[in-house]
């Protein structure tokens, strides 16, 4: 399972909290896309926990189609080509399913690692995914120029590897993050 995100250290006041620099300062728009993709992929753990042991399949073609239709519709408002948005989110969904399958296999082999609670997909997980959808579409819009450059894929992958390391993603999640990103760059 991926490492949980940590909060602020105890005892910190609001005055001690600094606003992070904009994506252009932290490594660029492509790094920001990798970060948001990692946020989305980390939620695959909750999706898997919600489905594990229920008989509910990992693949849900109707739900996936609804997500892709929604993304295609929202993309225009974000200034992102709908074909690009659909391709990127298709990769995001496939990466999430790969992680879910890996977690199901791990939990079947190692019952002590099974999730202790089953989150609610509709009320808990999907609203978080919806917020990330908006952030990812905004990130794709901001990465318009870099996506068209020959350096896009290596810079995006470097950002993804760095993000996976910072989050202490295991091999399953690191592979998933790399799987989530190929459609971002235009060849």
Domain residue extents for the chain: 41-184
Residue environment code for 5-14, b if the CB has 16+ CB neighbours within 10 A, otherwise e: eeeeeeeeee
Alpha-helical (H) ranges within 10-111 are 23-26, 29-42, 44-51, 61-78, 82-109
pLDDT band at 186 (very low <50, low <70, confident <90, very high): confident
pTM to 2 decimal places: 0.84
Q: Is the predicted pLDDT of residue 61 greater than 80, yes or no?
A: yes
Question: What are the tens digits of pLDDT across the range 6-24?
Answer: 333 333 333 334 344 444 3
What is 41-184's CATH number? 1.20.59.10
Q: Is the predicted pLDDT of residue 5 greater than 80, yes or no?
A: no
**Going by C-beta distance under 8 Å and a sequence separation of 6 or more, which residues neighbour residue 71?**
85, 86, 89, 133, 137
Question: What are the tens digits of pLDDT across the range 19-58?
Answer: 444 443 345 999 999 999 999 999 999 999 999 999 999 9
């Amino acid at each position: 399972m991926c490492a949980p995100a940590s909060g602020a250290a105890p005892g910190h006041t609001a005055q001690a909290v600094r606003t992070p620099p904009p994506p252009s300062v932290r490594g660029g728009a492509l790094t920001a896309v990798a970060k948001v993709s990692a946020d989305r992929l980390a939620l695959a753990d909750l999706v898997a926990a919600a489905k594990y042991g229920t008989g509910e399949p990992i693949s849900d073609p109707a739900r996936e189609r609804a997500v892709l239709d929604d993304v295609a519709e929202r993309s225009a408002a974000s200034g992102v080509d709908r074909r690009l948005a659909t391709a990127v989110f298709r990769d995001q969904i496939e990466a999430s399913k790969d992680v879910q399958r890996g977690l199901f296999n791990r939990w079947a082999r190692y019952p002590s690692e099974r999730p202790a609670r089953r989150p609610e997909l509709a009320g808990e997980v999907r609203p978080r995914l919806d917020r990330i959808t908006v952030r990812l579409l905004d990130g794709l819009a901001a990465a318009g120029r870099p996506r068209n450059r020959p350096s896009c894929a290596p810079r995006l992958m470097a950002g993804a590897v760095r993000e996976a390391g910072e989050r202490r993603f295991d091999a399953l999640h690191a592979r998933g993050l790399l799987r989530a990103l190929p459609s971002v760059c235009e060849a």
